[in-house]
Structure 1
Amino acid sequence: MKKLLAVLLLLSCASSAGAAEFNAETREFASRNNAFRLKVGYSGTNGGGRAKLELRDSEGKRLSVFEAGSAPFSVTVSDNGERLFLFCGSWGQTVQLSSLNVYKGSGAFLASHRLNMLGAAGEAFSGNGSVYALGADHGSSWTILVLNTESGKTRWSRKFRERLVGLKLSGSGERLLAVFTPAEGRHRAAIFDKSGKEIWTRAVNTKNDLSPAVFSQDGNKFELWEKGAVYREEDENWHATLLKKHFYRFTPKGVRETGVKELNEEFK
């Protein structure tokens, strides 16, 4: 009996120690459509140690639990819950992200990519979920990294000196629309094909914020939106407002602007 009690005590202590191993910090992340939630427990702080990840669906059903060798500062969860993109590095007073590690939702490791970035200048998934794109902000330069979500491997990558402010993938993922801001009041929109070749570009001069907003499934139609802060006297506050939409379409003779719509709509 004494031996049995001793064994049970040891098992209890081991279980408690294991449970406490990832209690240094806890963070939670969700997919963009809120269909999946990811809880991350950390064994250390500021990027040190390992991490334990627990993925659940919107009803709280646990789908997977696994450990990652590098602790993530943040995690992007795909809308179908099948891919997890872990941004790892060190953080404290400043954040320095050194790698992007790609996992299946089940916990299987797929690929790792060196980043050395300060933060993201945009993220996007294709409509069919087959392609993931990241805009990496390095401080004085920016990189667009496009991955195949099935394998986690690179489709193409390009570095820029212009400040990248947003990106959008077409529904099929074959084309990518990006917006750069070389200087205040000046923007440049560009489209890249599936190999990273720039196939179209246009300057858009506006003091408003410009972003890539809509890209059709076939990559032939897209929209650029102008946004800004508008002061409203009724509540004496500034409101984020959608001000203008630019509509474009690919034609046999190139890209043509098919219309501009003036707006004054609040958005969140």
Structure 2
Amino acid sequence: MSVLKQPLATPSRVRGVFRYLLSTKNQREKIEVLEKILSPDELVKNAPSPRPMLRATINEMVKVGLLVKEDEEIAINSDLPENARNPQLGDKLLPDTLAELFFASKNEDEEDFGRVCAWYLAQDIYDAPGNWDEVEIQVNKQKVGDFLKMSNNTLYGQLDDWMCYLGLAWGQALAGKRITVPDPIAYIKRNFKHIFNEDKEILLIDFITRLARKCPLFETGKFREEVESQVDIRQPNYLSTSTAFALFRLQEEGYVKLLRKSDADLMLLPKINNQVDDDGRISHIIWQGEKL
């Protein structure tokens, strides 16, 4: 069972457990002590089972590899990268640590979560389903119900919470209702240094390949290719509108510069109605460096 199907394992609870363990000696704690600190007796005295929210959260994070259980203790997994376990950096890096564990670690339990996230990022950002009712309609329209197994509002709620926390989407209030937008700008922005490595200018197709290697929800990545085998929604050499929209915004904010060079293959960055303007025919991307 993936985090998508465990509604008690929310980003805020995962973060609470992880932040606490980051500051403890040897980054471990007795489970009984952890439960009483993060879920005091008074809050769970009428619960049908002892501390169900905290226990479900811990179990999911052990399964995904963020935490480990050792006898009666719970600890941060020592196999995580050093920076991910750093008390000063770990909380800030947690969204990327989890994205790596969810989507890029061959974690079979999370494959359904990966497919649904990739499907949502593949939707037209200018007309994307923004709530459960619209998602249900789109799933039925594209005939991917059996493939995605996105069957109820509870699953959608988990998708919404986690994609927003991971920086793959964001939410807003519209006419008194929450609307979610599949926009991965926050994820891409956080990972420029990893994607560019020592380079400052690379082919856009190489940028996308590196991005997909880091997070296979994106174009050419494992989960996106599985989605595109079910739904024919992206033309050759086109990026999805969600990725294109993020890159245009990042250029406007001064993080990158998108270039077209005459001697290089182009990728097409569509805008509304899947139209490609002259400024959407791109061969190279330049990283302008980190902003303070």
Over alpha carbons, which structure has the higher Rg?
A: 1
Which of the pair has the greater relative contact order for Cα pairs under 8 Å at 6+ separation? 2
TM over 0.5: no
More strand by share: 1
TM-score (structure 1 length as normaliser): 0.30
More helix by share: 2
TM-score (structure 2 length as normaliser): 0.29
